[in-house]
Structure 1
Amino acid sequence: TTILISENTYSHVRDTARVRELDLVRLVGRRHPIRIYELRGMAPLPDIEQDLLIDVFAQGLNAYRRRCWADALYSFRRILRYFPTDGPSRIYTQRCLDQLEHPAPDDWNGVYDMEHK
């Protein structure tokens, strides 16, 4: 089971929680986007999990937000070699492939607009 938390919740547990930033989303009916995180645990993570699911994912997310689709895709595919069922990496892999085929407009700001509640 995955536990998602908002940036507000994360601000209260940042010193003890191990999280992975997942996305910057704008919820239906909201004006401002929020960052969402996956709670990975409250103790240090195993090295491979820290290295791939946290660090490499962050590199991929950073590349994605900079519109460096191929670099982002490389990071997410690297994670999937070791964690083939990692949902966030699968989602971003598909988003990167979509962006390579149909690039976002110049004013794209990296926010994912939720279409449904």
Structure 2
Amino acid sequence: MGYRILAEVTMAVHFLFIAFVVLGGFLAWRWPKVVWLHLLAAGWGLCIVLFGLNCPLTYVEDRARERTGEAGLSRGFIDTYLTGVIYPERCLDEVRLLIAAVVVFSYAVAVRRWRVSRG
């Protein structure tokens, strides 16, 4: 029972982390110090995409599911829960570009807002 809860909580945290990677730059509009945490998260997300790194959250969820007797994740978190479910697999590159554009846009507006507020 404990491993099942761990797997489900890890999956939820993973979704929240991905949402933060995509949308966290907008939080910096209100709370500028968040930008440092977001830069780390976005950098980690970029490294996963560019270098095929494995996310520790995927590892935790996978092992927890195996401990419950379920099959572990056969692919990464995004490939399992998002690609082919939320968006078609053939659109993966477009989705990645859209995410990058959202992050860049959020930072561009944040920088502009910070400059205006400074005088």
TM-score bracket for the superposition, by shorter chain length: 0.3 to 0.5
- TM-score after normalising by structure 2: 0.33
Higher relative contact order (CA 8 A, sep 6+): 2
Q: Greater Rg, structure 1 or structure 2? A: 2
User: In proportion to residue count, which structure has more helix?
Assistant: 2
- TM-score after normalising by structure 1: 0.34
